[in-house]
Structure 1
Amino acid sequence: MLSCTTPYGTLQLQRYPASRNAALQAFDTADLYLLQRVQQEPESDQPLLVINDGFGALACALAAAGKTVHSWGDSWMSWRALQSNLAANGLGSDAVRFFNSTETPTARYQQVLLRIPKSLSLLQDQLQRLRPLLADRALLLAGSMIKHLPPSAGDLLAAHIGPYQASLGWKKARLLQCQYDPSLQPGIRDLTSHYPLEGTDLQLRNRPGVFSREKLDIGTRVLLPCIPADLGEARVVDLGCGNGALGLLAAQRNPHIQLTFIDESWAAVASARDNFAEAFPGRSAHFVVGDGLSEATTNSADLILCNPPFHQQQVVGDQIARRLFRQSHHALAPGGRLLVVGNRHLGYHQTLKRYFDTIEQVAAAPKFIVLAAS
């Protein structure tokens, strides 16, 4: 846990999951820049809305200053970090009211702090849904590290909220200050994308911000043929499910399996739920938003299908994959298997040896391999 000095005081903040790498902080200078700028604004009786607060730094700082804070985001990990950091700073869990991405905040907002996401579809969806919630003369402050700032983010702000002005860079961060224009009539687009699941008659619908929302990713394409068709009533988990492609094919090939879809993104799990309901009306499955299999009991799964993420927010690495592998080892029943796909350079075969006795390569493509671990 690291100290973070903000305009509202010093906080103790930690990422979730916690990392031993001191370079991986729960805040960055874009957070501090946003807090410096909003401190200059007059006090408001209305709640202040924070959107896409990576690990709760913004909401914690504002709540510690006695402000009424609402937080809105798609990441369960971010929500969990917020809860931990509130507690670490002597604040109750009710100090910040949280809305997940499938919900819409319920107040009128004069001041909004937005961390610009890397997904432009998610940003556009949030702006479309935010606009009706803005009070007259509302101010939206959007922040990002410069290297992660999408070039068209300002255009989306101007199209959906009002005119914006870019700040000077400060410690590699930049703000876009946007003033609400009530005369704009941007309209509302349905941002759900869809495409067929290759080799089937199934359709994959994807809510904004979901991984691989425009087309099937290469890793999933390599893993799909490896899903067996003789599973009976096995307990199957689509771990890090995204739109649910792996679980859907498993369900099509195995009509009697007990299937669970898990992801840390509310939008992803909602997409998987939508796709399963459309593909298999009348059938049931479990849908979980959370930290992988962290709540799973031992011997609770017979087959786990996983195309693990290789980044958390903007940080690239295998820390999340390692966590999912460890959780899978704990959850698998004797004789159970983890089927995982990964880019060759990630070296998952070595990582899996820390947790599993037997590692077998079952498929390969020029850049990806599928491994079975048991």
Structure 2
Amino acid sequence: MTTAELVYADGELTLSRPGTDDPTLRAWDAADELLLEGCLNAANGVTEPRVLIVDDQYGALSLGLSGLSPVIVADSATLFAALDENASLNPSLNASGQVHSWINPPEGPFDLVVMRIPRQADYLAWLLRWLNGVMAGSGVLLAGGMIKHLPARSVDVFAKTVNTEKVLPARKKARVIRCRKGSELPGDWPGTWKGYLLTGQSDRKVEALPAVFAREKLDIGTRLLLPRVAEAVRDAEPGARVLDLACGNGVLGMTALAERQDLQVCFNDVSSQAVLSASHNVERAFPEAEVAFVHADGIEPGQGRFDLILLNPPFHEGGVVGDHIALRLFGQAARHLSPGGRLLMVGNRHLGYHRSLRRYFSSIHQLDASPKFVVFRAGNR
């Protein structure tokens, strides 16, 4: 574990970034620094302001503002483990704030909201509408992000949904925007759910919330994997346990259920909006199926073993692109396969997963390929 010091107006934090030992990948960036600085005068003199932090990444905001006893909500489950780890590195802070996901969102009103601006324009549009419903009438929103990661339409999104008071000067390639609540709410917005027809499965419609990958059309890597999923479950034992890992809208697990509804299928994702979306789709299409939904950064230790794990691994985390997430998921999958169980996965060809899989599995077979993607079946003899 590599740690580094974040120095800010109220003190300093020792922070680590879970999931990597790369010393160049810090647990905070300049946007976190500017947001912490901007919070000093943002509550407008409110005595004991109620503070909400939205989509903190690794705990820099939550710990830096711990003196305000903030309520915390994040889509990604990575924050929960990171916050626990980084709280242990800073024992002098009171890091006992309430932590929520979109599965159990907090209730307002809030006097001050501190938000990391997401990379997806639709998710930003939904977030701002949701915040309009929980901010106090005189509440302040401070939204910040790295300029290169801001959505292309972010200026229009802010203009349509909230009242922008001030765009603070950019520093260290980061920007913070100070806003007041607007009138737009999620219930008035048709973009909350978007989806497509899953052809070949009675033309079922699958939908997803704004933070979910490939919510408007079937990802081409997933498309290559789907026929192999159907093949893999045809000969499965009744009641076989299947895991749709990094499930997104749940399309891989739904393909397994379309072939065999006697399977036990679990849907895991690091995004709480993905878990909600998969539940929304599966429970409409297969109301009698034996299913479970887990919001977790990978596979939880208590989930047991699976006969088949389905995976289209993410290859980016924030602004970092690479195979570090996939490697972690491969290791977890290897530990959670039943004897004779198999991992069925699709990945980007250029990431060379045939080499990575050998670290964790003794048996690897390429089942399909396209110019951009490769499908593998892996297991341990």
Task: Name the TM tier (shorter chain).
Answer: over 0.9
Aligned with residue 336 of structure 1, among 333, 337, 341: 341
CA deviations on 1:57-77 (whole Å, 9 max, x unpaired) are 0110010xx212111110011
State whether residues 262 and 289 of structure 2, in contact with CA within 8 Å, keep that contact through their aligned partners in structure 1: no
Q: Which runs of 5+ in 1 are unaligned?
A: none
State whether residues 54 and 115 of structure 2, in contact with CA within 8 Å, keep that contact through their aligned partners in structure 1: yes
CA deviations on 1:58-110 (whole Å, 9 max, x unpaired) are 110010xx212111110011122122222321167862111212333223222
Aligned match of 2:63: 60
Aligned match of 2:205: 203
Aligned match of 2:163: 162
Q: Does 1:347 align with 2:352?
A: yes
CA deviations on 1:261-318 (whole Å, 9 max, x unpaired) are 11111111111111111111222211111121241566x1111110000011221111
- Letter of the 1:60 partner, please give it: L
Q: Does 1:293 align with 2:299?
A: yes
Q: Does 1:147 align with 2:151?
A: no
State whether residues 87 and 93 of structure 1, in contact with CA within 8 Å, keep that contact through their aligned partners in structure 2: no
Shift of residue 225, structure 1, vs aligned partner: 0.7
Aligned match of 1:189: 189
Which is worse superposed, 107-116 or 287-296? 287-296
CA-based RMSD of the aligned residues comes to 1.8
- Letter of the 1:312 partner, please give it: E
- 1:303-318 correspondence runs (5 A): 303-318=308-323
Change (3 A) 1:255 1:107: closer
State whether residues 158 and 164 of structure 1, in contact with CA within 8 Å, keep that contact through their aligned partners in structure 2: no
Aligned with residue 48 of structure 1, among 5, 30, 51: 51
Aligned with residue 279 of structure 2, among 273, 279, 284: 273
Change (3 A) 1:296 1:321: farther
* Structure 2 SS opposite 1:117: coil
* Structure 1 SS opposite 2:290: coil
**Partner Cα distance (2:288, 2:323) in 1:** 38
- Letter of the 1:250 partner, please give it: A
**Partner Cα distance (1:257, 1:108) in 2:** 44
Which is worse superposed, 187-196 or 135-144? 187-196
Aligned with residue 254 of structure 1, among 237, 244, 260: 260
State whether residues 315 and 323 of structure 2, in contact with CA within 8 Å, keep that contact through their aligned partners in structure 1: yes
* Structure 2 SS opposite 1:31: helix
- TM-score, normalised relative to structure 2: 0.92
Shift of residue 152, structure 1, vs aligned partner: 2.1
CA deviations on 1:303-347 (whole Å, 9 max, x unpaired) are 111000001122111111001101111111222111110111000
- Letter of the 1:188 partner, please give it: D
Q: Which runs of 5+ in 2 are unaligned?
A: none
Which is worse superposed, 95-104 or 70-79? 95-104
- Letter of the 1:278 partner, please give it: R
State whether residues 46 and 108 of structure 1, in contact with CA within 8 Å, keep that contact through their aligned partners in structure 2: no
- Letter of the 1:176 partner, please give it: I
Change (3 A) 1:132 1:230: same
**Partner Cα distance (1:39, 1:92) in 2:** 17
State whether residues 132 and 184 of structure 2, in contact with CA within 8 Å, keep that contact through their aligned partners in structure 1: no
